[in-house]
Amino acid sequence: MRPIRILELRSVRGTGGGPEKTILRGAELADPDRYAITVCYLRAIRDAVFSIDKMASRLPIDYVEIAERHSFDPAIWVQLQRLIRERQTDIVHAHDYKTNFLAWALSRRHNIVPLSTVHGWIGHTLRYHAIYYPLDKRLLAHFPRVIAVSSQICQTLIAHGASSERVTTILNGIEPEVFKRNPSKCSQLRASLSIPQDRVVIGSVGRLEPEKRFDLLMTAFAQLRASRPSLVLLIAGDGSVRPALEAQARQLGLGNSLQLLGHRMDIADLHHAFDLFVQSSDHEGTPNAVLEAMALQTPVVATSAGGTEELIADGVHGRIVPCGNVDALTQAIAMALADPAASRARATAARRRIESELSFQARTRAVERIYDELMAGRNCVPHTTRVLHA
């Protein structure tokens, strides 16, 4: 029998985020005898920051791009149909509201099955929240299967009409053998960033977009630094709010105590410079940045956004605080820094959880089972939902 042929379809601008790691690495780890995966990204021709192609070029995967002149470019429809015919696609696996619509439309025209992984709805304009996302949730109710990356997303889909039998929660995963701490790198990383070895470093990673609330983290950091001037804050990532964050840093007088590092490809190494990792988001799916910190045994303070609480039990694997509460965030960071032994113990427990429950290989196998089920019964009622902690 020939392998099941899957088209991973995604539209994103800039450097992307956690979903890109999941999509690209998942394609690399798939069993080629059973699953032939093509990764296709829709790329805006005016997007000068787009870098998914560079990430893909390092991996032995089938990667293609379709250029679009604008958000409603009809030419992409013709190119997608041609790609499906050439690859003899069985399943179109979409990853955002735009490609969800395209996967559904393609299934009306061709003998393919639409599948979606919902990473969250994080747009921050009225157009997204009033038009695109409500329509997306209604459309997903008609998909034969949907993967939610957190239980919160799963419940949202069911509340908007999706059958509970068709929605499966699969948490994101990570490769513990790749993301593994090496204490010998700590001095080298700090030296490369011109950070003295005696400084205490708070680190964070993510796209510089409103939902990540780095403004909140910077406010908390400024309050802590008033009594602990040796603190340093490193933020890795790039995005639309960088100018606003730079202005805020000047207003808070952070000077050289803050480094906005831009987009980095060496996150696993960068963690060796961190004493504490902080996530300050208002919205998340299952945050890959938190998974990376857990795997690398960097103590974690995080907000309860999205699926974060499904990764970290408060007080066991890290500390969890409410979203948008700068006082709670400041206090949790202060407590984590004040008791480094307790923080290290939680980080060790987090690493054990990664190794036993949250491996990327387990997540990949869970997704592959859904591919098998879709192909085994294209016109049958899907199997009962399972909540899978990959």
For the segment 27-55, the average pLDDT, to the nearest whole number, is 94
On the CB side of 99, CA atoms within 13 Å amount to 24
Q: Using one digit for the tens of pLDDT, what is the confidence trace for 267-299?
A: 999 999 999 999 999 999 899 999 999 999 999
The SS3 of residue 379 is coil
Give 200's strand partners.
Answer: 231
- Cα radius of gyration (the chain): 21
The CATH code of the domain at 4-173+359-388 is 3.40.50.2000
Helices 242-252, 214-225: axis angle to 10 degrees equals 20
CA nearest to 289, candidates 21, 12, 15: 21
Tokens 């010998």 correspond to 184
How far apart are the C-alpha atoms of 3 and 47, rounded to whole Å?
34
Fold designation for 183-357: Rossmann fold (3.40.50)
- Tell me which long-range contacts 54-61 makes (C-beta under 8 A, separation of at least 24): 55/16, 55/20, 55/24, 55/265, 56/24, 59/24, 59/25, 59/27, 59/28, 60/28, 61/24, 61/27, 61/28, 61/37
Give CATH 3.40.50.2000 domain extents, the chain.
4-173+359-388, 183-357
pLDDT of residue 62: 98
Most confident of 17-31, 111-125, 222-236: 222-236
pLDDT of residue 308: 96
| Burial of residue 361, with CB atoms counted within 10 A of its CB: 0-12 exposed, 13-18 middle, 19 or more buried | middle
Q: Is the pLDDT of residue 384 over 60?
A: no
Q: Is the pLDDT of residue 383 over 80?
A: no
Q: Is the pLDDT of residue 381 over 70?
A: no
pLDDT of residue 385: 41
Hey, what are 192's tokens? Answer: 């490369």
Q: Using one digit for the tens of pLDDT, what is the confidence trace for 157-200?
A: 999 999 999 999 999 999 999 999 999 999 999 999 999 999 99
pLDDT of residue 73: 94
Q: Using one digit for the tens of pLDDT, what is the confidence trace for 221-248?
A: 999 999 999 999 999 999 999 999 999 9
How far apart are the C-alpha atoms of 250 and 142, rounded to whole Å?
49
